[in-house]
A and B are shown apart, each in its own frame.
Chain A
Amino acid sequence: MATSPAPQLRTSFFRQALITSGLFVLGLIVVNFIFFKPGTVAVVLLSGLYQGLLFFLVAAGMSIVFGLLDVLNLAQGSFFMLGAYSGFAIYGALPEGTPVEIRFIAALIGATLVGGGLGALTEAILLRPLYARPVFQIVLTFGLSTVIVEVVRALYGPAGLVPIEKPAALDTTFSVLGGQFETYRVFIIVVGFVLMVSISLLLQRTRLGIVIRAGVQDSQMVQALGINIRRIFTLVFALGTAVAALGGMTAAPFLGAYPSMGGDFLLTAIIVIVIGGMSSYEGTAIASVLVGLTRATTEQISLQYFNTPILASISILIFMVVVLLVRPTGLFGRE
């Protein structure tokens, strides 16, 4: 017997959300061309992508963890910050004379491992005893983030560190439509997109991904099918914190490292997750780009007309409120 063609896997509501998001991006581009010269438009859009993908690196793990474990990990920003500081530590630990390229790659790998390892420990030791008490977990992750920030402040001082050295190949600028843009920020965009696609492939194409998606829907049944769901919980949590730490390290040659950087990114990451629809990975991925572009556009407008970037943070809050008023579950959220 032949198999029937699959119906649209994505329901019409998913297509609607995609179309809405597409129209929103188009709208932002039009706004850009109304307000700015073409060179500025290109820089603003690239800058929006760069910001959005950094938000994505923090939000991706939070969103999957929230879906699977029902924990909103408020310490996620701290792992981002730890990633940046790990970069500094690794740069400093390598013997003098080590080429920047080697330091840079070692720092990327090292920060990812530090983030993943600490994440695994956090889940296994701190969160596991509290799965029956979700509110305690939120309080715990909040407390943990405070502890991490204070420890870093004690070790490295409150002031923060200047950006670490980039590899020469990435330490250039290029011009696009007459605007100047740093090559390194394009590197961040590339890293973000590569991770976005890799995580998506992991979730859609591998057995682990299938088990994770099944666990998001009914983790008890996954366990009753013979799968050690606790091990999956630890793995997913660690993957999420590893990606956040990698994000922090990727940002370090640009933003430097300072104790409160995690908190700044955490807040926006939460807004991204809410706009995208809690626990929808696709929603988080798309919303992070939307939020990045919105931020960059309104930042440029407000710099141009009011000489202050104030509109940038206000605009994404307004964006979130509007989305929630129209669709209380977020763009891609269900029920």
Chain B
Amino acid sequence: MSAVLSVEAIHTFIGQFHILQDVTVEVPPNSITALLGRNGAGKTTTLRSIMGLNPPTRGAIQFHGQAIHGRKPYTIAQQGIGYVPDYRAIFKQLTIEENLKVAERKKGDLAGKRDFIFEVFPDLQRLYHWPGGQLSGGQQQMLAIARALVPDNTLLLIDEPSEGLAPVIVEQMMAAIRKLSDQNAVLLVEQNFIVASRLADRYVIIEDGRSVHAGLMKDLLNDKALITKYLGAA
């Protein structure tokens, strides 16, 4: 089984700060991999490095066996990567339809995916012509994920999907992400360990800019010592 994405020992600076100091992550197909770790450990920067928004200065990133590090963010996205940032980055003055339209990479992308998107996120159908700024936090999160589904992506990078959402919405979001992982590999950053442990098949723990542990989620759940060491009381 060859990985969809492999991040190999990358180092990333933001300004003069050496944020990532050797991060390695493998994402196999049709699975959910969670990046775990404390606040400020470098999880978001890892996703931004993959997208080329904070390009790594050392190491390599392969997507379906092709090197993508050092490329411009838009060409990286065009390879088939959908990015959902932690701040969601909804275009607030654009309607849901227009938000989705921006994500089209070829004519007909949206028309082809609309039914699937509506099936996963029924709210988006009901509010199709509403501006993004008038949606609730949960609906904005759904729109941000839906936007990553419009083109033919094979990998989704989702940063903090449960942040700031009510528990019932988190459940909906988890069901949706699980559904997406049937067709896409997912790399997830999730602060809430309970959410992460229920969603993900695999995990990578990042501590102070280094990936220190990786494996199957079910093994991690049995290793209370490891959880306590890196993730605090869980």
- Which of A49-57, A103-111, A205-213 lines the interface with chain B? A205-213
Q: CB within 8 A of A6: which of B73, B89, B95, B118? A: B95
A224 touching B122 by the CB < 8 A rule? no
Which B residues are CB-close (under 8 A) to A6?
Answer: 95, 129-130
Most chain A Cβ neighbours within 10 Å, of B53, B91, B103, B147:
B91
Which B residues are CB-close (under 8 A) to A218?
Answer: 89, 91
Q: A residues 1-29 with Cβ under 8 Å of B?
A: 1-7, 9
Q: B residues 99-149 with Cβ under 8 Å of A?
A: 99, 101-105, 118, 122, 125-131, 134, 147
Which A residues are CB-close (under 8 A) to B57?
Answer: none
A314 on the interface (CB 8 Å rule)? no
Beta-carbon nearest neighbor of A226 in chain B? B77
Which A residues are CB-close (under 8 A) to B147?
Answer: 225
A3 touching B129 by the CB < 8 A rule? yes
B102 touching A225 by the CB < 8 A rule? yes
A220 on the interface (CB 8 Å rule)? yes
From residue A216, how far is it (CB to closest CB) to chain B in Å?
8
A9 touching B122 by the CB < 8 A rule? no
A217 on the interface (CB 8 Å rule)? yes
Q: CB within 8 A of B134: which of A3, A7, A213, A228? A: A7
B95 touching A4 by the CB < 8 A rule? no
Which B residues are CB-close (under 8 A) to A89?
Answer: none
By the criterion of a CB under 8 Å from any partner CB, how many residues of chain B are at the interface? 34
Interchain CA distance A56-B20 in the complex, whole Å? 49
Q: CB within 8 A of A9: which of B73, B95, B99, B127? A: B95
Report if A221-B74 is in contact (Cβ < 8 Å); known contacts: A3-B128, A6-B95, A210-B98: no
Q: CB within 8 A of A221: which of B85, B126, B129, B131? A: B85
Q: CB within 8 A of A223: which of B73, B92, B94? A: B73
Report if A221-B101 is in contact (Cβ < 8 Å); known contacts: A3-B129, A210-B94: no
Interchain CA distance A217-B127 in the complex, whole Å? 21
B151 on the interface (CB 8 Å rule)? yes
Interchain CA distance A227-B73 in the complex, whole Å? 9
Q: Which 8 A-B pairs have the closest CB atoms?
A: A226-B77, A6-B129, A221-B89, A214-B91, A226-B78, A214-B102, A224-B83, A223-B73
What are 14 A-B contacts defined by CB distance under 8 Å?
A1-B125, A3-B128, A4-B127, A5-B129, A210-B94, A211-B102, A213-B98, A214-B94, A218-B91, A223-B74, A224-B83, A225-B77, A226-B74, A229-B74
> Which residues of B approach A to under 8 Å, CB–CB?
51, 53, 72-74, 77-78, 83, 85, 89, 91-95, 98-99, 101-105, 118, 122, 125-131, 134, 147, 151
